[in-house]
């Protein structure tokens, strides 16, 4: 497995690749730093995303999860840049409950590329486990609205 880390507007991010697929995006600086062409491209796309020039990532990904989680994560990838969906709306699309959508969101191994930050509650933003939590989610949603 190869990994790179870099500074972003939402803190330090680490991206991991395994066998030609992005398998994780994590907050914090990774202990192993090994660039590959795919990780260089991922970093380039992240820079463009944070500059408002990239609306959808185009990277091969391989998230590991349950069949239900994979179904939820696939649905998240259909939410356009700058838009949001509620936990309830996603539950109606993929099945399950709003709480199960929240659970799948919290287990997302590839945040930002799989945009779990675009899922909100009926009356508030809901939760977010990446970066500084809800402040990071607010930043991402506001940034996307600005560049939409």
- Which residues carry out catalysis? 116
In angstroms, what CA-CA distances link 97 with 72, 86, 143?
Answer: 11, 11, 29
How many CB atoms are closer than 10 A to CB 45?
Answer: 20
Main-chain dihedrals φ then ψ at residue 77, nearest 5 degrees: -70, -10
Which contacts of 76-80 are long-range, i.e. CB under 8 A and separated by 24 or more positions? 76/105, 76/108, 76/114, 76/115, 76/116, 76/118, 76/119, 77/114, 77/115, 79/115, 79/118, 79/119, 80/55
């Amino acid at each position: 497995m190869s990994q790179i880390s870099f500074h972003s507007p939402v803190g330090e991010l680490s991206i991991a690749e395994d066998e030609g697929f992005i398998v994780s995006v994590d907050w914090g600086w990774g202990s192993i730093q090994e660039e590959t062409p795919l990780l260089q491209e991922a970093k380039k796309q992240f820079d463009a995303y944070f500059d408002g020039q990239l609306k959808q990532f185009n990277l091969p990904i391989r998230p590991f999860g349950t069949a239900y989680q994979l179904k939820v994560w696939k649905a998240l990838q259909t939410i356009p840049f700058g838009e949001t969906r509620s936990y309830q709306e996603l539950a109606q699309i993929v099945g399950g409950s709003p709480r199960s959508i929240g659970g799948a969101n919290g287990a997302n191994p590839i945040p930002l590329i799989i945009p779990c930050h675009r899922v909100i509650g009926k009356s508030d933003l809901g939760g977010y486990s990446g970066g500084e939590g809800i402040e990071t989610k607010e930043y991402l949603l506001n940034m996307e609205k600005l560049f939409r």
